[in-house]
Amino acid sequence: MNRLKTIFSLLAFASLSFGNCKPINGDEQISDLFLYYLLFQALANATEENCTFSPNSSDALFNDEWHLHNIGQFGGTVGEDANVSPVWNQSISGNRVIVSVVDDGLDIRHEDLSQNISVTARGLNLLNGTIYPTHSYSNSFHGSAVGGVIAARGGNNLGVRGAAPCSKLVGVNILEKSTIYTSDEYRAMVNESSRVSISNNSWGSPDGYGWLWPSSSLWQQGVNEGIRQGKSGKGTVYVWAAGNGANGGTIVAPVLVDNTNYDGQANFYGVMAIGGIGQNGKKAAYSESGANLWVVAHTQGNSATAYTTAISTTDASGSNGLNVGGSSGDYSLGNYTKKFNGTSSATPLAAGVIALLIGKFPELTWRDVRELVAYSARKNDSIDSDWAINSAGLNINHKYGFGTMDAVNLLTRANTWTPITATLITQTEISLSPNTPIPDNDIVTGATVNYTVGSAINYIEYVDVEFTSNHTYFPELRIEITSPGGTKSVLSEPHACVNPYNNSLCSSGNTSIASMTGSSTYRFGLARHLGENPNGTWVLRVFDSSATDTGQINSVQLRIYGR
């Protein structure tokens, strides 16, 4: 049986800050059932409406949405936002773009979402087996908050506005399940993929543990089917939250714990991992860094002493959800919240900006979109010491990927973009088995493996590094690789960790690669080498930061995606 470990689903569910789940409501109102009936009828033979949106129209809480239009209203840097207003002014608002919200449900009855629920794509509720994705538990809200960041209806004199206020949403409720099977993951990735342009995933492996979490083969199959066959053959674009575990969870902050490359979903070549920055353009302390990080988008950030303003968006209707009506300083109207945060909210902002792009240029493929996002990203926090330029001329940073999502830059770049017509080549290079010892407690010399690549690919789109080691305590290793063009990528850093099975600090061996995967091999992802030529010698170096635990590099293998 293909079944995800129960601990994964339980911890992933808990990582969204949900409380104890309440029973499904058996007293569904007749009006709600009637709405479901109407939705079902509409799905039979409907077409998406052509939404009209005036940027100058009113949305009651729009002034609070600094991530869309930052005028320093909460003390942030003026202009540090997604830069969507000039795009809206060109009558670009995401019309006819369908975005899948894979989450804990989506409130299709919400006053600010209902008009933007797709009438051609069917939702999927994996908890109760229906096409109606609305939350079943009263304390679930996450998916509705995500949906609002993407596509809350604009100009309707209500609440908030999404980044793509005319795009359409289809919900997939997977996270309310107490046990998530790999078959559930597959179904969530492919649901209505022929119609879905973008799949938003503000979930993933548990945060704050410092463990390596591989992705399932069925989930990978679902993403592969989506990018090859989705959106009428152009490929569904998958955006994935980079994770909120950089500064620890159960470990007292500030302690480096998680890297987004430890998440086997966020580091998969078919997705774009999205990190988070605050209203000053700097990394949120919790946002995970990594060589697989694609770009960042705005969310609740931090100053030197405290977290700063979060994101205003839709909440589950009425007394359900995060805001139960003015609780803890939230809005008095419980249908909205100003407390949404994390890479969970940065990811749908990226999805909304991408929806603007696809709405204007519907013929773009998933490969076009991800490269346009990279090439148009704005360099934020320019004084950060990690900024570098790869050999293809792209700005890169382990904290920020290629930079910040910027709607104007993205649409401008698309105006002169030459579509990618070359076939995507996947080339798996030979596996080297050097069995090189890793010097114990040595952060200067380390162990080195030279890996020579000679392939038909001369333009990298993504790289996988499969690393095998019998080292008895993985968290003390620093692993880095340098491309033939001279670009260095850090795959893993020495870090603290917590055993998720008993919530205690890890002891020797508890987070070795073998204990997590059933083998001693783990796959890391590299986004930073986009556009580089892979041919030549790659240099892998591994350092051991502490005494006692030892091991060796058993094998290294590269898989290169490109053209």
What amino acid positions are annotated as catalytic residues? 103, 142, 344
C-alpha 223 chain-centroid distance: 14
Q: What is the DSSP letter of 124?
A: E
CA-CA distance, 304 to 283, in Å (whole number)?
Answer: 12
Look at residues 133, 482, 461 and name the one whose alpha carbon lies nearest to residue 316: 133
Q: What is the DSSP letter of 58?
A: -
CA-CA distance, 463 to 560, in Å (whole number)?
Answer: 5
Q: Is 377 helix (H, G, I), strand (E, B) or coil?
A: coil
For residue 8, with 0-12 CB atoms within 10 Å meaning exposed, 13-18 middle and 19 or more buried, which class applies? middle
CA-CA distance, 220 to 122, in Å (whole number)?
Answer: 22
CA-CA distance, 155 to 56, in Å (whole number)?
Answer: 8
C-alpha 329 chain-centroid distance: 28
272, 350 Cβ separation under 8 angstroms: yes
Scanning 163-266, the segments in alpha helix (DSSP H) are 182-190, 217-229
With a CB cutoff of 8 Å and minimum separation 6, the contacts of 317 are 107, 109, 110, 111, 334, 335
260, 290 Cβ separation under 8 angstroms: yes
Q: How many helices (H) and strands (E) does the chain have?
A: 10, 22
Q: What secondary structure, in 3-state letters, does 424-454 show? A: CEEEECCCECCCEEECCCEEEEEEEEEEEEC
At residue 151, what is the residue type? A
Please report, in angstroms and rounded to a whole number, the separation of the first and last CA atoms in the chain. 37
At residue 89, what is the residue type? N
